[in-house]
Chain A
Amino acid sequence: MDFSLNEEQRHWQAEARRFAEEEIRPVSLRQDQMPDPFETWNWDIIEKGSKLGFRTLAVPKEWGGPGADFVTQAIVMAELARGDSAISKAFSQNWKWSHLIARSCTKEQKERFLKPFLADDRYLMGRGITEPNAGSDNRLPPPDAPKAGFRLKAQRDGDEWILNGEKCFIANGSVGSLFFVDARTNPEVNVRQGGTLFMVPKGTPGFRVGKVFNKRGWRFYQNAELIFENCRIPHANVVGEVNGGTRASAGDTTGGDIFGDLELAANAVGVCDDAIEMAMTFARTHKRAGRAVIDHQIVQLKLNEMHALTEALRSYVMRVAWERDQGGAIGANAGLAMNLSTDIIQKVTRLNMDIHGAEGCMMNARVDKLVRDAMVWTHLAGDTVQRVKILKRLQGTHKTPSAGAH
């Protein structure tokens, strides 16, 4: 076994750590505290990070990207998340769809979409699966139930498709330039047999952004409504085959669903690292009842637990990333790591809050922010549906569609 990082991995780690410390952390709380959910975004930090390669990190080298391996991706996500979990996600969200393009798009589609993505520091991507009445239904559709899953409708008209319907909670929705949109092309059968994946660029007539959701955590990272009203999309924008949307995006061996799981687990490691750093600093520099906080046994036990859980998660995340780089069969480890990361990030950020305690009628705002950010893991990574879904993967009896709009 070899746990060492190679030179390239260490380079990206150092770059990400420096960027997080010098650029992300100073703006993190300010963006988080913007009351208007439209205002939490900051293009400046995206452009700076893009110029350093963090937006396009996963684009293969043959297409002009850095082509970083999964171990590097995991390390960079964690390092960026140490500065701000939501900003880290705003970058890595693009990697997910870089993986999808690299695996599932035609050469012509890659020319049309991957090249502008590489060229424009503000070009971001997202995917629309979730709808107001299809959230868990997308993750774990009841077998063969035509009414379950997304309902956004696509009808063929010559060389075009006409999209009608609505998506919600779509990541990068308000800021993205290209969206992968799941639509029903055959409503008579279940979602796996009758769903097709379309690429919809920003500005397409009939496609507009609705509201930006006002979230408790991850406030920088914008989730929005996408509204389709007779939106015409050329057939050339179909990813994979018609009625093959699930196959186009799931079960791939390079990323997609599996990357999404690794992504949340790796991001959680960075938040836990941040919490530990805060807790250790506080415990060493503050007193309770006349003694250094760190000299109280109840605090020592909490710090021990924070370190143990975080290191265990880090080990699991790195193993999953390493396994992906070896290109072996896809197991359940990425999903299990994601589920586990929910428990660990929430426990570790809460312990950090316990150690800090209230300061009179106030709480350290960053301590609270970490707790609020950690809460988004519940529905993204660790609700009961996500856990049952991973068991299906373990059972090997169920090929699941993508994990939803992370």
Chain B
Amino acid sequence: MFDLRLSAEQLEFRDTVRDFVKNEVKPAALHPSRLEPFEKPLLGELLDYASRMGLRTLSLSEAAGGAGADTLTSCIVLEELAAGDVDIAMSIALTQGLARALFESGASDAQRSALLPAFMDDHRYHLALAANAAHADRGWHYHREYSDDAPPAATAARQANGDWLLNGSFAFVANAPIAKLLIVQAKDDAGGTCITVLVPAGTPGLEATDATAAFGGETAGGRTLARWHHGAGGAVRLTNCRVPAANVLSADGAAAFSDAAYAMRADAHVAAVNLGLGRAAYEAAVDYAKIRVQGGRPIVQHQSIGGILADIAIKLELARNAIWKAAWAADNPEAAAEGASVALPLHTIARTYTAEAMHEATLGAAECFGAMGVMRDMPLQKYVHDAFVFLNGCGHDSATKLEVAEALAGYEREYV
């Protein structure tokens, strides 16, 4: 059985978001006044709009008030959204993914009852995950256990009255500046185990900064740093941040944010956003190639440009196939067990292939624009930049693909 037809509901989602992107997002996101400055604040009103369309709660079950979208449907929607604005898409991707993990499996009934109504009612209610960084160097520990030389980013100490006291800091947490609830992973001082705690924004001792400045100051090593992420984000600091025991997730609930299923969905979502970015560059190049006349005919009729556009189209198709397959595998975990799916991390394959392919696609699309491809009042240079950020950022780099090599060699870590 092999069937790539989309359901009527999926098509409707896709077309609705496509219209939203065309009519609302692109006019704002691609306006020269937005493109030219180095600073790139989140387009908050459009993010709210996306929430009102149901995208923030997309993958929550219908019983919880969401659309019950599976991973494949989320990927279809995120690709469309990212074709308009990659930052909005990344913020939505994260909140809707975390919402599913939290409200469908992570939270207890009591926690869900306490939090879900506010989350559903407030279009500016976003979620963030301050995760233990043990896996941040994924791929670099090739065929080795994760090293212990990096201390956990946060620690938790139980108080006499049952509260927990959190201390520590995270250099960067996606969505932190817009999150009304942070899901924080911390190491229990006493037991040494990891616990996962829900920390509402505004809790005394919780501080989230907004990393929107285009350039940071000099580091101790004398390097100047440039902003390098998509969507909202910033550092999170916990200083004697007191949370009640009721905010701690059960061990099973905590796994919702650290198990393979979460990683599969999250990677597929980011790859879909990356794909949408490449598609935006591609569509711009095709449109331009049809109207730009050089050598007496539209450049799309020149073999040289045709070859570039064909290469991009092929990469988009292959990336989408890889993403949809990874999404399908995430939605059908039994398929791997039944032998219907290869025993490789399809989500990592999708993520890595898409990052590399969209990097090349955006460069090719920019080439079609000649000198206009590097002008800051035009979108092509932004697409190229954004693709570089996916290639070496957002949890991906050139070592990520080694996860695939570990899997094909059958290597498994004792501690994950």
A binds B: yes
Q: Which residue numbers of A lie inside 8 Å of B, CB to CB?
A: 29, 33, 35, 37, 130, 133, 135-137, 140-142, 145, 147-148, 169, 213-217, 223, 285, 288-291, 296, 298, 302, 346, 353-354, 356-366, 368, 371-372, 375-376, 378-379, 383-385, 388
Residue of A nearest to B228 (CB): A363
Is B393 positioned at the interface, with any CB of A under 8 Å from its CB? yes
**Residues of the A chain whose Cβ atoms lie less than 8 Å from the Cβ of B221:** 285
The answer to whether B397 has its CB under 8 Å from any CB of chain A is yes
A290–B147 touching, CB < 8 Å: yes
A288–B296 Cα gap in the complex (Å)?
54
**Residue of B172, B293, B393 with most chain A CB atoms under a 10 A cut-off:** B393
Specify the main secondary structure of chain B where it touches its partner: mixed
The answer, among A33, A213, A298, for a CB contact under 8 Å with B215, is A33
| A357 near B304: Cβ-Cβ < 8 Å | no
Known: A142-B295, A216-B385, A362-B226. A357 touches B397 (CB 8 A): yes
Task: With A379-B367, A384-B308 as known contacts, state yes or no: A140 contacts B141, CB within 8 Å.
Answer: no
Contact status B38-A361, CB under 8 Å: no
Name the residue of chain A whose CB is nearest to the CB of B223: A364
B296 touches A142 (CB 8 A): yes
Asked whether B227 lies within 8 Å of A361 as measured between CB atoms, the reply is yes
Please state if B397 and A358 are interface contacts (CB–CB under 8 Å). Answer: yes
Interface of A is mostly: mixed
Across the interface, B374 reaches (CB within 8 A) one of A29, A33, A375, namely A375
Q: Decide if B398 is an interface residue (CB 8 Å cutoff).
A: yes
| 10 shortest interchain CB distances as A-B pairs | A384-B304, A289-B140, A363-B228, A362-B225, A361-B172, A216-B381, A361-B229, A290-B147, A365-B226, A214-B376
Is B305 in contact with A384, judged by CB distance below 8 angstroms? yes
What A residues does B219 contact at CB under 8 A? 359
Q: From A291, which residue of chain B is reached at the shortest CB distance?
A: B140
A214 to B382, CA, bound (A): 13
A356→B224 CA distance, assembly (Å): 13
21 pairs, CB–CB < 8 Å, chain A vs chain B: A33-B38, A130-B371, A135-B371, A136-B294, A136-B299, A214-B376, A215-B374, A288-B140, A298-B399, A353-B388, A360-B172, A361-B393, A362-B211, A365-B225, A368-B228, A375-B373, A376-B374, A383-B367, A384-B304, A384-B308, A388-B304
Instruction: Using A215-B375, A358-B228 as known contacts, say yes or no to A298 and B381 having CB atoms under 8 A apart.
Output: no
| Residue of chain B at shortest CB distance from A290 | B147
Contact A298 B402 (CB under 8 A): yes
Q: Is the CB of A378 within 8 A of B366?
A: yes
Docked complex Cα distance between A78 and B189 (Å): 56
Contact partner of A379 (CB less than 8 A), chosen from B214, B373, B388, is: B373
List of A residues within 8 angstroms of B214 by Cβ: 33
Task: Give A354 to B397 CA distance when docked, in angstroms.
Answer: 7
Closest B residue to A364 using CB positions: B223
**B171 close to A365 (CB less than 8 A):** no
Question: CA of A383 to CA of B226 in the docked complex: distance in angstroms?
Answer: 28
Docked pose: A145 CA to B294 CA in angstroms: 11
Q: Contacts A145-B296, A215-B374, A384-B305; is A35 near B38 (CB within 8 Å)?
A: yes
Measured in the bound complex, the distance between the Cα atoms of B377 and A291 in whole Å is: 42
Q: How many pairs of residues, A versus B, come closer than 8 Å at their CB atoms?
A: 155
Say yes or no for B36: interface residue by CB 8 A criterion.
Answer: yes
Contact A375 B384 (CB under 8 A): yes
Task: Assess whether B414 is interfacial by the CB under 8 Å rule.
Answer: no
- State whether B228 touches A136 (Cβ < 8 A): no
- Which one of B37, B211, B227, B295 contacts A136 once the chains associate, using CB atoms below 8 Å? B295
Q: Shortest Cβ distance from B71 into chain A, in angstroms?
A: 25
What string of 1s and 0s marks CB contacts (under 8 Å) between B357-379 and chain A? 00000010011001101111100
* Given A379-B367, A384-B307, 19 additional A-B pairs, CB 8 A: A136-B294, A215-B381, A288-B140, A289-B146, A290-B147, A296-B140, A298-B402, A353-B388, A353-B391, A358-B392, A361-B227, A362-B211, A363-B392, A363-B393, A364-B225, A375-B363, A375-B381, A375-B384, A384-B304
B304 lies within 8 A of A385 (CB): yes
Q: Is A354 a contact of B392 with CB atoms below 8 Å?
A: yes
Beta-carbon contact of A216 and B308 below 8 Å: no
Chain B positions 207 through 242: 1 when the CB is less than 8 Å from some CB of chain A, otherwise 0: 000010011100101011111110001100000000
Known A298-B402, A362-B216, A365-B215; judge A289-B147 contact (CB<8 A).
yes
Residue in B closest to A281 when the chains form the complex, CB atoms: B221
A149 to chain B minimum Cβ distance, whole angstroms, is: 10
Chain A CB count within 10 A is highest, among B146, B224, B399, for: B224
B137 within 8 A of A: yes
Residues of A within 8 A of B384 (CB): 216, 375
Chain B residues positioned under 8 Å from A285 (CB to CB): 221
Q: A359 vs B211: C-alpha distance in the bound complex, in angstroms?
A: 13
A365–B226 CA distance with the chains assembled, in angstroms = 5
B287 interfacial contact with A, CB 8 Å: no
